[in-house]
Amino acid sequence: MKRPSRRDFLAQSAALAAVAALPAGAAAPKYRVVTKYKPAGGLGAPGLFPGRVVTVHAANSIDETTERVDVPTVRQMISRGMTTLTGDRDARDSWAKFFTADDFVGIKVNASGAPGAMSMPDVVAEIVANLTGVGVRPTNIVIHERGAGQILLPHYERFVPAGVRIESANTWLGYDPDVYVETNFFGEDDTRSYLVRMVTEQFTKIINVPNMKDHSASGVTGCLKNVSYGEFNNVARSHYKYDTETLTFIGTLAAVEPLRSRTVLNIMDGLRGVWHAGPFSTNKRYRFYPKQLKFGTDPVAMDRLLIDVIDDKRKLEGAISVWNKDPKTFGTTQQWNDDPNVNRFVRQTGHIEYASTLGLGVYDMPKIKHTEISL
């Protein structure tokens, strides 16, 4: 018999771990991943700092009444967060660990809940300023979302230098027909989800800028969901039914090359968030203000901490946990909108742990090195 190679052993170990992360008796859908790209660069998830997360808190970062952001405070938060993450004294050295003047950088924002919930334009503008500070040309920076309607609502163009592009798959390049994930969830006609062409043909690096939000199907929506569902099309089919497929689909998409290798930095915008009825924010009652930014290269570790942020807020408000799957809590969309103790889908908060079995990051809390700073 042929002796198993180290690669075979690791693949088998990952497969066993993935099965262990599924509910008892459950099986993952059959996924067919099609891509010509191989892992490259060594900066993709879990990145330069696996299991490491830095959180910077600042009480005056945003005014809860007006929702106006204090830009000098955000500037300081980003500087401290980056230097603490990388161990550098000068923030320019921190950014230079990831980006050079030769890079073409995509900034993947989350604007699905705009204007009530979004990657704040003031935060995105400071990220752009730091990129240009290490030589990245404004014309080589693209703030983007999957959908054209969403990306227009925050008006990022009013906050960034001339030359920085604001684009979606609808407005620029579309989707790559040669990079997709194929699976049949419920007998749907369209079984493929294609990666946006900006990722495959333009970007050399991606900065992921998610929000802190509750999600009725995936439990929470953070780094993993923002970069997977936000860079692929035809993803809503995964939560077409009450018992969703978000548990395995989110991580599967996030692991596809070249998306994985090119997403080198995550900056989670937690100045404000949504603790119920996410990912949108039509009801300000469910909006809250964590007043923090999180920094890391490991999307799993960051999302693991996000679970507790959202769940702690829900507990404070007397709402059921993001882990609650009791069929008795199921109700209509209207009931879910009106009552935070109602679910409209089976929440799959476990998608974050499942993503860890794909090698995307560290899930176990004792293994996560979390540094918190208050300004």
Residue 8 has what pLDDT? 43
Q: Which two tokens stand for residue 140?
A: 């080589």
Angle between helices 121-133 and 71-86 (to 10 degrees): 50
Pick the closest to residue 226 from 113, 311, 135 (CA basis): 113
Amino acid 50 reads P
Q: What are phi and psi of 250, to 5 degrees?
A: -60, -50
What pTM does this model have?
A: 0.93
Distances 353 to 294, 310, 326 between C-alpha atoms, Å: 19, 16, 20
* Count of other CB atoms within 10 angstroms of residue 41: 11
pLDDT in tens, the chain (375 residues): 445 444 443 444 444 455 456 665 566 789 999 999 999 999 999 999 999 999 999 999 999 999 999 999 999 999 999 999 999 999 999 999 999 999 999 999 999 889 999 999 999 999 999 999 999 999 999 999 998 888 999 999 999 999 999 999 999 999 999 999 999 998 899 999 999 999 999 999 999 999 999 999 999 999 999 999 999 999 999 987 778 899 999 999 999 999 999 999 999 999 999 999 988 888 899 999 999 999 999 999 999 999 999 999 999 999 999 999 999 999 999 999 999 999 999 999 999 999 999 999 999 999 999 999 999
Residue 151's pLDDT is what?
A: 92
pLDDT recorded at residue 240: 76
Residue in 229, 232, 212, 230 with CA at minimum distance from that of residue 221: 212
CA dist 255 and 139 (Å) reads: 28
What percent of the residues of the chain are helix, what percent strand, and what percent coil, each to the nearest 5? 35, 20, 45
Nearest to 55 by CA among 82, 88, 94, 73: 82
Q: Give the integer Cα–Cα distance in Å for 287 and 238.
A: 26
* 164 within 8 A of 140, measured Cβ to Cβ: no
Question: Hey, what amino acid is at 23?
Answer: P
Domain extent listing, the chain: 36-374
Can you give the pLDDT at residue 150?
Answer: 86
Q: By three-state DSSP, how is residue 123 classified?
A: helix
What is the Cα 167 distance to its own chain's centre? 18
